[in-house]
Structure 1
Amino acid sequence: MALLEIPREIRLSILNFVISSPVNPPASPSKTQRGRKQLRQKAWLGYAWIASAIWQLPPQSSSALSLLLVNKQINIETRHVIEHAPDKYHVDVMFLKDYGLWTTWSIPALPRTRYIESVHATFRIFEPQGLKTRFRDSMKFDYTSIGPPWSSWSLYQMLMSLLRAGPGYVYSLRRWDYEKSATSQYVVKNIIIDVLAPSDGVEHKSMMVNNKDYEERLEWLSDDIDDNNSIPMENRLATYMCNSLNTLLTLDYDSLNYGALVYEGVQEKIQILVNGRLFREFNIEEMEASISVQYFGELPDRTEDRKEKYQKWKAWLAERRQRMKEGLELDNNRPVEKII
């Protein structure tokens, strides 16, 4: 039976399945080395452009593109499906020790509004094998002078890029007037992160370094997560991600400028799953209601200035989140670029 002979309701369901199904992720990192580019962004509120640990493939052409070219009837029905499809997106992230976060986005259609229903991220763990040296050492677990290690900032950069540039980071951050776009440009209702057990058939000794360097760097590894081989690797990574998110959302002295963006752009929850089962949930709505920053530094003049900026931001945030609940147009004129 020809496609146009099928009842319209069934045909629309077929088109919706084809358009909305996630792109098949790469079977292994080595299959998609060519074409990956390092995402560069102004990660720290105006301080500097830095190279991130995120290696992305250019977003692939949507299945809708070929369907639009079939004939006039399929073109009309494909446009109908795109216009009514929920704003749900998926990204596959290959977690490569030392070699970064390799993303492959599924984007059936660009967001119609700034409100996105959900983003589902699948994290798959791989031992780096047969990869080009240009990727090496792009994700470090060393601690920085501002608190969390570089690897935690890499996870934050993924969140920031999503909220400020949209799914697939389609809109280049370099084109923006940074001071005028310090807050998120998109609102994501829910973010679901599913960490899967490794399936590459390799013994994963460490989450932080590849097996070749494991014995040499054993004393340097974290004693609370990464040296306990009795814990499955996916649980270790999920725990690390939860600790990083908790630090970010606590809004202490080191994380206040950065965690603020998450409260401005995530409406309800961030869920961490392990192999499809809930591991931990961050209820952003509840956490926003109990934000309490206690420490703003030691110098009295700077402390008072920061407290004043924080109060302005918090009042603006309360109004913004109320408008988010109602799906209204949002004010992007953040009262302060950064608080600390």
Structure 2
Amino acid sequence: MNSFGQIFRLTSFGESHGKAIGGIIDGCPAGLEIDLDFIQNELNRRKPGQSKITTQRDESDQVEFLSGIFEGKTQGTPIAFQIRNKDQHSSDYNDLKDVFRPSHADYTYIQKYGTRDHRGGGRSSARETIARVVAGAVAKLLLKRVGVSIQAYVSRVGEIQLGKPYTELDLSQTESNIVRCPDVETANRMIARIEEAGRNHDTVGGVVTGVIQGVPAGWGEPVFNKLHADMGFAMLGINAVKGFEYGSGFDGTRLSGSEHNDVFIKTETGVRTKTNHSGGIQGGISNGEDIYFNVAFKPIATLLKEQNTVDRAENEVTINPKGRHDPCVLPRAVPIVESMAAIVLADHYLLNRINQL
């Protein structure tokens, strides 16, 4: 279960403190121009050590393509790539070898496999998401050819919420600050909240909002691979994600049907909806409106403070973890959310081409 997608398909490999993280992208059409600078920039948005509110692990996260690209274009063959790990501090985890850290995958991995790589969480580490960002960047290049754009941003950190819908924001300002919130005043409050958590050796969670524009009507499947279902599956597979909603989401349950229905109207550009409570998807298929969604991230489980737990021998123990960790995952999660959305959409774009042969 290390692969994602049906036609546009990513298989990832590697561990947090292994030699490299990498992947194989299969199903990408031939002839796609690969912008290496764009792909590297996407990785730079995810990499550690990029600001004072992220982990200070020092990784360049330089991607190396091994196959599938010739003279700057895809060949329709598997695209293999890797990103080497260079700044592992594996000794920081020696005291945790036989200990189950609270809310981590330590216990469940032992129950499933009978063994685990305790260095930085091994395969369960969020460092694995590097592979998703590379595949997502390639997917973005493919989607750009058909006019689809994807933009995510931080809309809540702890109790500090951006109280505006995306339609009232200038999303081009998302990268103007280190927390990746397109509203400067709210961004400053979010940064202060993350810094407070860091000073207290604690962590804080929040929400990333995604906005997808340019998807035409007709992408998605009517039953088991509904577009929103695949999107939710993708987002819930990201480390630390605890919830997903699209369109009106849970707030929509407070409305009556007459208030919630998106009325169809005729416009100069064709059939549109007067409102967009559906979040651009109806019956599992895109309707041509913007697709928007929220992804909830829990506070990161690694706390640099004393906690009680048990070890493999079921002895009660106290731990005081070392290492370099984000006090808040949200700023670095933004490009991961975009990448998973891009992989889903690239997959459905290719599936839709088959349906219309």
TM-score range, shorter chain: under 0.3
**TM-score normalized with structure 1 length:** 0.27
**TM-score normalized with structure 2 length:** 0.26
The structure, 1 or 2, with the larger RCO (C-alpha pairs under 8 Å, 6+ apart) is: 2
More helix per residue: 1
